[in-house]
């Protein structure tokens, strides 16, 4: 008997679990743990969105099976959001699809568009789901290494020709998790040019598109001419509106890709609960003051964190988006050794960079998932208790 496919056996173990185990042990030992590892901020979903959900729950028609592609209200709200934010026109019927969170869509995209042995190009370091979803679709993953010296931007010329010939899909993610890097529209222009030349689908993951500060505005690949031919963009309500548990996102762009993904999905799921779609539509088109307010909170946490890390000799710079700081570990440590040492000596949890791919080795990620006072406390403890090089 073997209840595990070879495909699944090829997927490396979920590395976050190890950090979670160390956390559990520390908590059991009575340590006051400050968890700066999780990517799920402490701020609540804004009240008007919760109220809209409660209202929609009262209508029995909303409690039936949802439609596969998503409710018209939600798809129109995504199109309206693109019009308002990026001056991009989308057809809500054919160029927008509702997802059970963008992770679900990213996961199901690959079996819908690649064949076994096809190559997927993805950022290294990058969000682990791109790699895992590729392996689960029997594809091959190629790490596009993102260098600090190059602003963690992709270097398309570095991809070997033999890989390019077999490549079907390229993932890009800006504002980036884990590096915090942001880009201008020029990077997307080059990506579309590259896609046209090599017949590759570009997939952008815009999970942090609205989590921006310091006057930075994140562009969309959909603003580039030709994007509807060569690109799709995933988006999420999770980060901008603190709706991680609600499970709602979307994909926009190339019609054929959206069609393929919707055929695949119609055979494995039955869409997003309608009241959640209607509340999400309200989030996208309604009052955006919570977004501004939350971004201010992240900006302050980011500044506290960067100043604190710099004060203990860890080199890192202010960023303009997202809620993660990406920093090099001190000399003499691997990422995992450093994270384990910090937890042991101070009760503070970071995420080891190697979780995000081989290019993440030598780095750690800090998330602004806790209030400023706890960030201050974490840094005080590191300053007072951490013995680097012991």
Residue numbers at the binding site for ligand PLP (CB under 6 A): 39, 101-103, 127, 173, 177, 205, 207, 236, 238, 244, 249
Strands (E) in the chain, as ranges, are 34-35, 96-99, 119-124, 140-145, 167-173, 201-205, 231-236, 249-253, 324-328, 348-349, 351-352, 363-367
Rounded-to-integer distance, Cα 192 and Cα 230, Å: 7
> For residues 38 and 50, which CB has a smaller minimum distance to ligand PLP in the complex?
38
> For residues 134 and 238, which CB has a smaller minimum distance to ligand PLP in the complex?
238
Query: Rounded to the nearest whole angstrom, what is the least distance from the CB of residue 129 to ligand PLP in the complex?
Result: 7
Six-digit token string for 152: 């963690």
> For residues 127 and 273, which CB has a smaller minimum distance to ligand PLP in the complex?
127
Query: Rounded to the nearest whole angstrom, what is the least distance from the CB of residue 233 to ligand PLP in the complex?
Result: 12
Radius of gyration of the chain (CA): 21
3-state SS class at 81: helix
> For residues 101 and 219, which CB has a smaller minimum distance to ligand PLP in the complex?
101
> For residues 220 and 238, which CB has a smaller minimum distance to ligand PLP in the complex?
238
Quick check: 94 and 258 in contact, CB under 8 A? yes
Q: Which helix (H) or strand (E) holds 179?
A: none
Rounded-to-integer distance, Cα 284 and Cα 78, Å: 7
Query: Rounded to the nearest whole angstrom, what is the least distance from the CB of residue 236 to ligand PLP in the complex?
Result: 3
Query: Rounded to the nearest whole angstrom, what is the least distance from the CB of residue 130 to ligand PLP in the complex?
Result: 9
Rounded-to-integer distance, Cα 357 and Cα 326, Å: 14
Query: Rounded to the nearest whole angstrom, what is the least distance from the CB of residue 97 to ligand PLP in the complex?
Result: 13
Query: Rounded to the nearest whole angstrom, what is the least distance from the CB of residue 126 to ligand PLP in the complex?
Result: 8
Q: Which helix (H) or strand (E) holds 335?
A: helix 335-346
> For residues 235 and 275, which CB has a smaller minimum distance to ligand PLP in the complex?
235
């Amino acid at each position: 008997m073997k209840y595990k496919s070879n495909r699944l056996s090829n997927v490396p173990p979920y590395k976050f679990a190890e950090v979670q185990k160390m956390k559990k042990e520390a908590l059991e030992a009575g340590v006051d743990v400050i968890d700066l590892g999780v990517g799920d901020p402490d701020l609540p979903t804004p009240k008007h969105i919760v109220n809209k959900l409660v209202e929609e729950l009262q209508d029995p028609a909303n409690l039936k099976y949802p439609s596969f592609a998503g409710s018209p209200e939600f798809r129109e709200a995504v199109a309206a959001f693109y019009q308002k934010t990026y001056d991009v026109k989308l057809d809500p019927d054919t160029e927008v699809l509702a997802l059970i969170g963008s992770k679900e869509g990213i996961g199901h995209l690959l079996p819908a568009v690649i064949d076994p042995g096809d190559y997927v190009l993805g950022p290294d370091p990058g969000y682990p789901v791109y790699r895992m979803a590729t392996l689960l679709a029997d594809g091959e993953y190629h790490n596009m290494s993102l260098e600090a010296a190059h602003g963690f931007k992709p270097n398309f010329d570095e991809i070997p020709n033999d890989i390019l010939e077999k490549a079907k899909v390229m993932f890009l993610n800006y504002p980036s998790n884990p590096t915090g890097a942001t880009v201008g529209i020029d990077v997307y222009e080059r990506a579309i040019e590259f896609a046209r030349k090599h017949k590759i689908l570009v997939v952008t993951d815009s999970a942090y598109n609205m989590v921006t500060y310091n006057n930075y505005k994140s562009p969309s690949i959909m603003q580039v001419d030709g994007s509807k031919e060569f690109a799709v963009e995933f988006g999420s309500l999770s980060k901008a509106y603190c709706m991680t548990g609600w499970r709602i996102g979307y994909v926009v762009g190339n019609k054929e890709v959206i069609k393929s993904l919707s055929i695949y999905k119609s055979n494995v799921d039955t869409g997003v609960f309608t009241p959640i779609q209607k509340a999400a539509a309200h989030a996208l088109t309604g009052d955006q003051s919570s977004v501004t307010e939350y971004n201010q909170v992240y900006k302050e946490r980011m500044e506290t964190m960067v100043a604190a890390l710099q004060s203990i000799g860890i080199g890192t710079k202010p960023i303009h988006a997202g809620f993660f700081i990406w920093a090099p570990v001190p000399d003499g440590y691997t990422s995992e050794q450093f994270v384990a040492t910090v937890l042991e000596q101070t009760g503070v949890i970071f995420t080891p960079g190697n979780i995000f791919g081989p290019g993440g080795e030598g780095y750690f990620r800090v998330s602004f998932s806790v209030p400023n006072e706890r960030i201050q406390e974490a840094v005080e403890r590191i300053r007072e208790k951490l013995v680097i090089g012991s």
